[in-house]
Amino acid sequence: SLPFNEGRGAASKDAVRGQSAAIHDARWISGASSLIAFPEDTEKALTLEDPSPERKAFTVEAWCKPQKTDTGYLLLKKYAFGFPNFAGDGKVKGYVRRDNEKDWGLTLENAVEANAWQHYVLTCDGRVVWIYRNGKLVEDRPLPGPPATSTAPFLIGANGGWGQGHFTGDAG
């Protein structure tokens, strides 16, 4: 995980790896040092450059409190993966792009509550994808082919021009 510990300003530095990130059109939550609020209907993103874009194994995790159940991607790295994508009707979607440029997708039913804190994890070892929600394994499937790599920035709270709107809610 990338815990940001400043709690102020438009740029942040990851407390573990020392990477810098830019925060656009979002605000820090008062009194919290590592939570970011993404208001509805604004262009927003926290972008983070990946120091190892060629890596095949990866894990992304997020604590979030979506304001509604159809609020788009929270974590997105174009041409590599997107998760969780709050797709409406309680569904959470995700995808992993494979080296053959075909997307491998998943849909979790009844996997989101509006205005409630939830923890999501997607982890991939290059052959298998595991999905966790609130600490429980909810999906594990083989990935039919190795995951693709991407030099695109890692976006938090923005759809990067893909799919539905930007994430609306709180993330930590």
- In tens, the pLDDT along 89-137 reads 889 988 888 887 788 888 899 899 899 999 999 988 888 899 999 999 9
3-state DSSP call for residue 3? coil
> Taking CA 26 as the corner, what is the angle to CA 22 and CA 28, rounded to the nearest 5 degrees?
90
Structure tokens, 84: 């969780």
CA angle 53, 54, 57 (to 5 degrees): 95
**The pLDDT value given to residue 162:** 61
Of 15, 28, 109, residue with least CA distance to 69: 109
For residue 32, the model assigns a pLDDT of 42
CB 170 within 8 A of CB 32: no
Strands 169-171 and 81-88 turn out to be unpaired
Q: Which regions in the chain score pLDDT beneath 50? A: 1-3, 5, 14-17, 29-35, 41-45, 47-53
Which pLDDT score is estimated for 35? 46
Q: What is the pLDDT of residue 10?
A: 54
